Amino acid sequence: MSVSTGVATFDPAAANAAATDRGTTAAVPAGSPVTEATAGTLEITAPAGAGTAADQATASAQTASASETDASAASTGETETSTTTSETAKKDAKRNAASGKKKLSRAARQRLKASKAVAVAKSKIGAPYRYGATGPHAFDCSGFVQYAWRKAGVRIPRVTTAQYRRIKPKVSWKDLRPGDLLFFNGKGHVGMYVGKGKMIHSPSSGKRVRIDKLSAWRKASFSGAVRPGM
């Protein structure tokens, strides 16, 4: 029902419907005659939470920012931890490497040199014997072993008697290792042990550097052995 106020026409039912659509409550009951003076103002109650929408948006933004800050801090912490771990690992590796060098015993260093001396000697298989020759293309017996050990970084005397006298330690037949020098016939001949019961040597005039088995005859004429590089 419409009510004429003399200035404007007011429809309470329409107002109530409109207010309901907007989520408000009309103070004027439907069907009541209302004048402009008493029509009053519609009392409108905002929906729950509508007035705090901006505050909620601000709070959400602050929460998101705090989360990002925490995540960034966590990421920074992880990066710092990773960097520290990497640096520690590098330091440990350096210490281990240094420790490894210190732990390489004198005997181990000698074996490395002996291995090289044997390799050099084998590379000269077929070179001719020549009295007084010390290489690189011809050798006598003592010149041959001197050449091989010099290439391995170890200087030894030139002749057999001095080689046996000055090189230490002395080695027994049963304790021979590759690189050891074997002397025969009262230190008149020398060869180099290469393992598996064999030696390499420059035998005598008209012959060439070769590998021979340590036969019973060789053992019978054996007069001592030494281990260069210690």
pLDDT in tens, 82-109: 555 567 666 766 665 555 556 789 999 9
- Choose the catalytic residue: 15, 120, 141, 192: 141
Average pLDDT over residues 3-10: 44
Closest CA to 166 of 149, 177, 152, 175: 149
CB 222 within 8 A of CB 186: no
How far is the C-alpha of 190 from the C-alpha of 225, rounded, in Å? 9
Mind listing the pLDDT tens digit for each residue in 148-157?
Answer: 999 999 999 9
Binning pLDDT at 50, 70 and 90, where does residue 128 land?
Answer: very high
Active site residue 127: no
Q: At what angle do helices 141-151 and 106-123 cross, to 10 degrees?
A: 120
d(CA 192, CA 144): 9
Between CA 180 and CA 195 the distance in angstroms is 10
Identify the band that residue 24 occupies on the pLDDT scale cut at 50, 70 and 90.
very low
pLDDT, average across residues 34-57:
44
Q: Give residue 35's pLDDT.
A: 40
Which of 176, 221, 220 lies closest to 199 in space, CA to CA? 176
How far is the first Cα of the chain from the last one, in angstroms, to the nearest whole number? 124
CA atoms within 13 A on the CB side of 157: 13
Which residue among 113, 116, 151, 189 is the active-site one?
189
| Of residues 98, 90, 192, the one with CA closest to residue 141 | 192
Q: What share of the chain is helix, strand, coil (3-state, %, to 5)?
A: 45, 15, 35
Catalytic, out of 160, 201, 209, 214: 201
Alpha helices in the chain (DSSP H): 12-21, 53-103, 106-123, 141-151, 160-166, 216-221
- pLDDT above 60: residue 69: no
Split at pLDDT 50, 70, 90, the class of 4 is very low
Residue whose structure tokens are 């077929």: 126
Q: What number of other Cβ atoms are within 10 A of residue 212's Cβ?
A: 13
Rounded to the nearest integer, the mean pLDDT of the chain is 76
Known catalytic residue: 137? no
189 an active-site residue? yes
200 by Cβ neighbours in 10 Å (0-12 / 13-18 / 19+) ranks as buried
Compute the average pLDDT of residues 176-190: 97
Residue of 96, 223, 82, 116 whose CA lies nearest to 165: 223
pLDDT higher at 163 or 70 = 163
Mean pLDDT of 39-64: 48
The pLDDT score that the predictor gives to residue 204 is: 96
